[in-house]
């Protein structure tokens, strides 16, 4: 592993789905580099392949063509054992195991490894619970008894249980009310800083986007058309970017740009 290797490097990636009706190209010659320590946000219309790309980085899906490497090492197909310990993932529709308590949910990936005694697993899970702002007594609650914001926090604690250097977030604040969303963004910001994480995040929420991103990558025309600082992305001439940041959303984007001049 080279110290200077990018956290993630994607080269000439193609994703093609063949359905009975048609051949469907999602990604075509897509390139993207994510450096260590960044919070890179991925934006793009619905169905442009953001979730698929995250799953490919995780090694859960294999691109049709092209390469993905993690700290200079190629991501292997089905490489969950290797990759999973280096990547934490908060899934878009990330459900907790409903029959497991909060603590059992958080501990699950560690328990699956079968290398640590139960007492240490429990302690590690407790540390992560605290890290995401939950109380020790929340550990005994069941998922059905949690608020939306708490569910996201538990899922985040589970994603962090292996101390991964890379965290993937798919719509981390969707479905949260504005207050819980703000709280979650604040938590993500402090975890990014304290744990020296690299973060790749998919979000449609402009507040989340501008409060956290060091760079924004835009997925359109089946590739990444620009990956740059937010102010440069907004200024980039492309119909999708124009529409995405136009009007009310655009006004809000400009306000946020003034508020958050990328001090991360």
Ligand X SMILES: Nc1ncnc2c1ncn2[C@@H]1O[C@H](COP(=O)(O)OP(=O)(O)OP(=O)(O)O)[C@@H](O)[C@H]1O
Q: What, of Mg ion, ligand X, none, does residue 181 touch, CB below 5 to 8 Å by kind?
A: none
- Cα dihedral across residues 251, 253, 256, 258: positive or negative: negative
Does residue 51 belong to the site contacting Mg ion (CB under 5 A)?
yes
Determine the Cα–Cα distance for residues 184 and 132; give it in Å rounded to an integer: 9
- The number of angstroms, rounded, from the C-alpha of 206 to the middle of its chain's C-alpha atoms is 15
Residue matched to tokens 């859960």: 60
CA quadruple 152, 158, 163, 169: dihedral sign: negative
Under the binding rule (CB under 6 A), the answer on residue 146 touching ligand X is no
- x/- binding map, residues 78-97, to Mg ion, per CB under 5 A? --------------x-----
Pattern of binders to ligand X over 71-110, x per CB under 6 A? ---------------------x------------------
Exposed, middle or buried, 66 (CB in 10 Å: 0-12/13-18/19+)? middle
Q: How far is the CB of 53 from ligand X (least distance, A)?
A: 7
Quick one: the chain helix, strand, coil %, rounded to 5?
40, 25, 35
- 220 touches ligand X (CB under 6 A): no
Nearer to ligand X, 16 or 120 (CB): 16
Selection from Mg ion, ligand X, none that 26 binds (CB < 5 to 8 A by kind) is: ligand X
State the residues that interact with Mg ion by CB under 5 A. 51, 92
Q: Which residues bind ligand X (CB under 6 A)?
A: 17, 26, 44, 46-52, 92
């Amino acid at each position: 592993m080279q110290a200077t290797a990018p956290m993630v490097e994607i080269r000439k990636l193609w994703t093609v789905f063949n359905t009975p009706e048609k051949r469907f190209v999602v990604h075509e010659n897509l390139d993207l580099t994510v450096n260590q320590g960044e919070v890179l946000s991925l934006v793009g219309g619905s169905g442009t392949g953001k979730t698929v790309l995250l799953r490919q980085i995780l090694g859960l899906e294999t691109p049709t063509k092209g390469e993905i490497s993690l700290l200079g090492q190629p991501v292997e197909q089905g490489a969950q054992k290797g990759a999973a310990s280096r990547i934490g993932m908060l899934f878009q529709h990330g459900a907790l195991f409903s029959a497991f308590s909060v603590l059992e949910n958080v501990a699950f990936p560690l328990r699956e490894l079968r290398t640590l005694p139960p007492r240490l697993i429990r302690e590690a899970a407790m540390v992560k619970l605290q890290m995401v702002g939950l109380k020790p007594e929340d550990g005994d609650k069941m998922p059905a008894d949690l608020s939306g914001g708490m569910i996201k926090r538990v899922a985040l604690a589970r994603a962090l249980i292996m101390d991964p250097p890379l965290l993937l977030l798919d719509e981390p604040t969707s479905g949260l009310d504005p207050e819980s969303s703000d709280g979650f963004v604040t938590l993500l910001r402090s975890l990014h800083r304290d744990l020296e994480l690299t973060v790749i995040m998919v979000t449609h929420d402009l507040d989340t986007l501008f409060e956290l991103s060091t760079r924004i990558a835009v997925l359109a025309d089946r590739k990444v058309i620009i990956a740059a600082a937010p102010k440069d992305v907004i200024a980039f001439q492309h119909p999708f970017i124009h529409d995405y940041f136009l009007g009310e959303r655009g006004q809000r984007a400009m306000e946020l740009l003034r508020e958050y001049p990328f001090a991360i």
